Structure 1
Amino acid sequence: MAVPASNHPVWSRLASGGLSKVKTSQLAAQLFIKRIETSKTPTPQKAKEIFDFFAKYERIMGNELQQLTAL
């Protein structure tokens, strides 16, 4: 599955608390999710960071990308 475009609404939903619903066994993703959840960064900036992360690790994040359509 391909990463949704950077302007797709899913990134804002994830940045607004939806990221905690993503189930992953990837340690890097677990650490990233925890860091984003505790960050005081504004939502639009979080959304960009989340998009960048998924775009960078698209090859190994297939399971996680499939979950994005349900969020």
Structure 2
Amino acid sequence: MVATPDDRWGSKVTAVVSTRGGKRPSLEDIQEEARKHIAGYKLPRELHIVDEVPRGPNGKPDYKTALAKALSMEFVA
């Protein structure tokens, strides 16, 4: 999850995800599952599906690269 620019609120939560087995979850699928675990205002409002989530040398998500991918990709859902 990264914060991308939003005209109304200033920024919005954007999910950058990779999938296994050729599955393509919709934004609604992601929101439905996330709603069980986090507050509504933290739900992603945009979804980008990538081949691989960028990770740093330590194995943690590379948020800077994920943000760059989200900003450069066409809106998916």
Q: TM-score, normalised by structure 1?
A: 0.29
Rg comparison, structure with higher value: 2
The answer to which structure has the higher helix fraction is 1
Structure with larger RCO (C-alpha < 8 A, sep 6+):
1
Q: TM-score, normalised by structure 2?
A: 0.28
The answer to which structure has the higher strand fraction is 2
